Amino acid sequence: MLDRTIAPGFKPIKKVTIPQVDSSSLSNGRKVFFLNDSAVEVFKIDLVIPCGSWFAENYNLISLALKILNEGTTHRNAHQLAESIDFIGSFAEFSPGFDQSTISFYGLSRFFDKNLALLSEVISSPSFDEQQFETLKKKEVQRLKLNLEKSSYLSSVALRSSLFGLDHPYGKNNSVDKIEAVRLTEVQAFFASNFSDFDIMLSGKLPNDFIEILELNFGKNPIKRVALPEHQVTNTVGRLNEIRKPAFVQSSIKIGKVLFNRTHPDYMKFTVTNELFGGFFGSRLMKNIREEKGFTYGIHSHLYSLNQEGYFNIGTDVNGENEQATIDEIFKEIVKLQQELVGENELETVKNYMAGSFAGSVNSPFAIMEKFKAVYFQGMDMSFYEQYLNSVYKVTSEDIMQMVNTHLQPDSFYTCIAGPEKS
């Protein structure tokens, strides 16, 4: 009989095998990256376009140019396009971003050629219908207005603006006026200048002749390459940014600083440090501020690795009366890590959690391709993940103390709060 008083044996994960992502090129020079997995009956194709906010003065040009592609082509109106995608059991996503934007189709492998024909039609012959464009703008305005009433959204935007500056692509604020001012002719011009330059990422079960099908749909048209602009970080002088509204009951707190992305030599040591500090449910911040103090349902820290920069963020939502006490406890935990070595048992728990999470994050071709994209666009390769477990297990308590003392000095942080008015 099973004795449930005895915990099951545990073996740390020492090795995770990650399939190789292969590459090819079409006749027009377009790069193709693919991971073929015959064990599934589905596939995903991404057109990854270098036209995130880094590439445009007005972010809305990117968002509107991308989303209007889903509003019809010169051959099908919006309803017909949606029906055509649904008929073959597919799903489309149009995702603007900071560094690049993505058009994604998820489909059944047996309809691979039909999916690519539709995707080619979407990217090569959008209708740019004036009425659809005005409707799309109204949706974007409404979505922004809803976000501007959310304290978590306001604190996040305020933190990025404080860290990078209002003129930096990672720090710009959006507004209703900016959306309403965009004209369809501007979107068409932006599309013509930026949307022919994209890489193709394929994952899942692919037909034997998938390169020929790609060539037919994406290998003929010339590519107008997009240059990478340069931008300078100009963070704000004030270390505290407060947004007060009577309607807010809770305070959304964001504390952070510009740091680095995964190309930095300290990235892996800091990643383990962050996990222990605030990266998972058993972190020190969760134990203190959720379990012991009862101030919040959740608090997390994260190192955002963008292509050109990286930044560290601590975020939580608390009742207004616990706002300052929460901030004080966050910095107490930082100081504690600066002064006291982490115990071996606690560090081992964090490492094992990270190993298990990593193993679970590479269990499908779609997930592996996402990992590939993350390193590829930062000038790295999959060896980063091949060395991941070894890099995690090598981190010591002394390394963590060094990371906190080097990178998390309390006076280097910016604090942004969106919460109720103070009495």
Mapped onto helix, strand or coil, the DSSP state of residue 114 is helix
- Beta bridge partners, 20, equal none
> Taking phi first (over 0 means left), then psi (-120 to 50 degrees means alpha), and beta for anything else, what does residue 8 get?
beta
Distance CA 36, CA 42 (A): 11
- In the chain, the domains with their CATH numbers are 22-218 (3.30.830.10), 240-419 (3.30.830.10)
Helix, strand, coil shares, percent, the chain, to 5: 45, 20, 35
Q: How far is CA 169 from the centre of its chain?
A: 15
Q: Are strands 250-258 and 240-244 parallel, antiparallel or unpaired?
A: unpaired
Q: What is the pLDDT of residue 58?
A: 87
* Confidence at residue 231, expressed as pLDDT on a 0 to 100 scale: 87
Is residue 122 within 8 A of residue 191, CB to CB? The reply is no
Distance CA 212, CA 208 (A): 9
Strands 199-204, 31-36: pairing is: parallel
In whole angstroms, how large is the CA radius of gyration of the chain? 24
pTM above 0.95, yes or no: no
DSSP, res 275: I
For residue 1, the model assigns a pLDDT of 62
pLDDT of residue 10: 62
Which pLDDT belongs to residue 152?
Answer: 97
The C-alpha atoms of residue 96 and residue 70 are separated, in whole angstroms, by: 13
Do 170 and 261 touch, CB atoms closer than 8 A?
no
> For 197-241, how does the pLDDT look when each residue is reduced to its tens digit (9 = 90+)?
999 999 999 999 999 999 999 999 999 988 888 888 887 778 999
Residue spans of the chain under pLDDT 70:
1-2, 7-10
Q: 22: number of CA atoms within 13 Å, CB side?
A: 9
What number of helices (H) and strands (E) belong to the chain?
16, 11
pLDDT at residue 156 in the model: 97
């932006």: which residue's tokens? 190
User: pLDDT tens-digit profile of 297-335?
Assistant: 999 999 999 999 999 999 999 999 999 999 999 999 999
At 9 the pLDDT is 64
Q: What is the Cα–Cα distance from 307 to 374, expressed in whole angstroms?
A: 9
What pLDDT score does 7 carry?
Answer: 64
Q: What is the pLDDT of residue 52?
A: 86
Identity of the amino acid at 345: N
State the Cα–Cα distance between residues 158 and 161, nearest whole angstrom.
5
